Amino acid sequence: MNIDHFQPTFEYAKQLDKDDPLACFREEFYVYPHSIYMDGNSLGLLSKRAERTLLETLEDWKRYGIDGWTKGKHPWFFMSEKLGEMMAPLVGAFVDEVIVSGSTTVNLHQLVATFYRPKGKRTKIVADELTFPTDIYALQSQLRIHGFNHYTQLIRVKSRDGRLIEEDDLIAAMTDDVALIVLPTVLYRSGQLLDIKRLTAEAHKRGILIGFDACHSVGAIPHSFSDWDVDFAYWCNYKYVNSGPGSVGGLYVNRKHFGTNPGLAGWFGSKKDIQFDLEHTFIPAESAGAYQIGTPHVLSIAPLIGSLEIFAEAGIERIRQKSLHINQYFMNLIELELADMEFVIGNPREDERRGGHVCLEHREAARICKSLKENEIIPDFRAPNIIRLAPVALYTSYEEVWRVVQTLKKIMTEKEYEKFSNEREVIA
């Protein structure tokens, strides 16, 4: 696929779909028949394979009862480890460095409780002011648990423009009083992709541990956490990985930290072969499995088995290639068709600096999102003025992107948005 010969026509969009090597995977998903789904960066669509593996797991429960822990299509006892192995290629890790467990916030608490070890004047944690609020809440509470004032000990690096965070500013904050750094791989509003490799190297030069929130990159962007020597990472699986609402998350711990006792110990972090000895002496697993806390949420994990089968076949490199291409096509259409309508593309334009969604800014963003929904297009609003639109490589077509831009043009030209209030819904 080549964007150099871009044309704004419907015929060109159809040709791009014809040439798309991932187009066949669209049939794997329950795509909305009469609307266009552009919110996969918030909740991915259901795939037929995810549905199948959930139903297979229910059948195991129905058939085997408690013996489902070791019998059936997907035995539960090793399910988290199996899925960690399946997820490892998506984050560029060794199979024993990844485990499917917990949720974004629970896993962040676990990892900070494990790796935040204030000593001497090294007591501060560095984050950024544009990160998702749950990360800030968790970091503040961890500082309070250690008896620190989170107003002074949590450093939130400022954005120069309210959209992006400069790596140079993050590096400047890596002072000799910092014990830990926690940053997003991709900023959830603007879609900026940070230079993970550079930031990790700079942190380690200064003797600081660094971890990443990969919620907005896993499933859309290739990672090389092991090669980059990232200390830890965590993410949800219900966005680009399409594992379902509230699905179980994932975490990565670099092998060099194996043997570090989890800050929050629980029985499912035990060494597997002695877990059911039920002794009161905790012996952690010799892998990322040590950082599990409680019993796996089996029915919330099951859809991920089918979903990851699709990723193994499609390949994360090909997914990234299409994601970059279809988003560039999207931005080209926006600039051509929506000129003089006060839209601003708020995400970085360079391939190496952008994630999986287009950040479209407009002062009437909330009203425009409501009008898009009335036109059977599902967008995503983020206050105060951002429309997030995510063409997902596995199931979004170029024709759909073309139709979204034409609908936006109609909404603005005919002022359809004016009948709505410029306030977000309860769920944005």
Nearest to 388 by CA among 354, 419, 357: 357
Binding site annotation covers 133? Answer: yes
Q: What whole-number distance in Å separates Cα of residue 324 and Cα of residue 306? A: 25
Binding site annotation covers 238? Answer: yes
Binding site annotation covers 132? Answer: yes
Q: What whole-number distance in Å separates Cα of residue 45 and Cα of residue 37? A: 8
Nearest to 290 by CA among 56, 96, 60: 96
158: Cβ contacts below 8 Å, ≥ 6 apart: 129, 169
Q: What are phi and psi of 224, to 5 degrees?
A: -140, 55
Q: What whole-number distance in Å separates Cα of residue 428 and Cα of residue 425? A: 6
Q: What are phi and psi of 270, to 5 degrees?
A: -70, 155
Give me 8's structure tokens.
């704004």
Q: What three-state secondary structure class fits 185?
A: coil
Binding site annotation covers 134? Answer: yes
209: Cβ contacts below 8 Å, ≥ 6 apart: 115, 179, 180, 181, 203, 231, 232
Binding site annotation covers 295? Answer: yes
Is the distance from CB of 184 to CB of 216 less than 8 angstroms?
A: yes
Amino acid of residue 249: G
Binding site annotation covers 105? Answer: yes
Write out the E strands in 232-318.
232-235, 250-253
Binding site annotation covers 104? Answer: yes
Residues making up the binding site: 104-105, 132-135, 213, 216, 238, 267, 295
Residues making up the binding site for pyridoxal 5'-phosphate: 104-105, 132-135, 213, 216, 238, 267, 295
